[in-house]
Amino acid sequence: MRKQIDEIAKKLQDAKKVAVLTGAGVSAESGVPTFRGQGGLWRNKDPMKLASIEGFLQNPKEVWEFYNWRRELISKVNFNPAHKAIAELEQKKDDFLLITQNVDGLHKLAGSKKVIEIHGSIWKVRCTECNNEFFDKRPNLGILPKCEKCGGLLRPGVVFFGESLDPVLLDKTIEFLKSCDFMMVVGTSSVVQPAASFSMVAKEAGATVVEINLEKTPYTSYMDYSIQGKAGEILPLIVERI
């Protein structure tokens, strides 16, 4: 693995335009449960249904209970060495973009500034009536929180399963990936589209693509480098070498 890390660090050092994509595995190392696996269960219900637009429309009370639980949990955790290493990499590269599927805000807490949160933020809420959107960092907003402007029901400011990504953010992401020369895909199972295919956009554009994840993914065989392990252990080793 050391040889791989040295080779990756050398290519990253020479790279001019760098993209990083992160998934739930990065946040899991801070103690944030993933949707998949034993750590993702909540009251013996399927979190993926609770995080869907259908679930919210059918039972907003239960969905808000779930998101208040998530907000309280996330409010008690902190960024980890993987988050910090990515923030440090941004400081070393002028042309840099972090695309994260995570909604917890830990990347920004670690110091990342050039960030696209493609699935939104758990700390943002939006009115279902007047579309008033704002940040609210309180751990618990109560059941069925209402908009102060119009009294409409608020919803979490995240992209639910079954909803499309913000087209402006998606276009900005694709545009950057088509012109980057190095990309790291970190802590993602690469099964949720369209993010799962982002690495192939960069690959087809000629970029060196590196995967860091606990397990192999459907895209592992297409990667220039793939390392199985913890992002918080591997990323600092790479970044400190450039």
Predicted confidence (pLDDT) at residue 176 exceeds the cutoff of 80: yes
Query: What's the CA dihedral at 140, 159, 182, 175 to 10 degrees?
Result: -130
**So what's the pLDDT on residue 148?**
93
**So what's the pLDDT on residue 147?**
96
> Where does 76-159 have alpha helices with state H?
81-92, 106-110
Domain ranges in the chain with CATH number 3.40.50.1220 = 2-32+79-119+165-239
Q: State yes or no: is 83 an active-site residue.
A: no
DSSP string, 183-234: EEEES--S-STTGGGHHHHHHHTT-EEEEEESS--TTGGG-SEEEES-HHHH
Tell me the CA end-to-end span of the chain in Å, nearest whole number: 17
Which pLDDT tens digit goes with each residue over 193-241?
899 999 999 999 999 999 999 999 999 999 999 999 999 999 999 999 9
Domain ranges in the chain with CATH number 3.30.1600.10 = 35-76+122-158
Q: What percent of the chain has pLDDT over 90?
A: 88
CATH 3.30.1600.10: does it fit domain 35-76+122-158? yes
pLDDT interval class at 169 (50, 70, 90): very high
Token digits of residue 86: 């990515």
The arithmetic mean of pLDDT across residues 17-24, rounded, is 97
pLDDT interval class at 36 (50, 70, 90): low
The arithmetic mean of pLDDT across residues 131-155, rounded, is 96
Kindly name the residue from 71, 119, 155, 230 that is annotated as catalytic.
Answer: 119
Predicted confidence (pLDDT) at residue 109 exceeds the cutoff of 90: yes
Which CATH superfamily does the domain covering 2-32+79-119+165-239 fall into?
A: TPP-binding domain (3.40.50.1220)
**So what's the pLDDT on residue 93?**
98
**So what's the pLDDT on residue 192?**
83
Which pLDDT tens digit goes with each residue over 52-95?
999 999 999 999 999 999 999 999 999 999 999 999 999 999 99
* Candidate from 24-38, 182-196, 214-228 with smallest mean pLDDT: 24-38
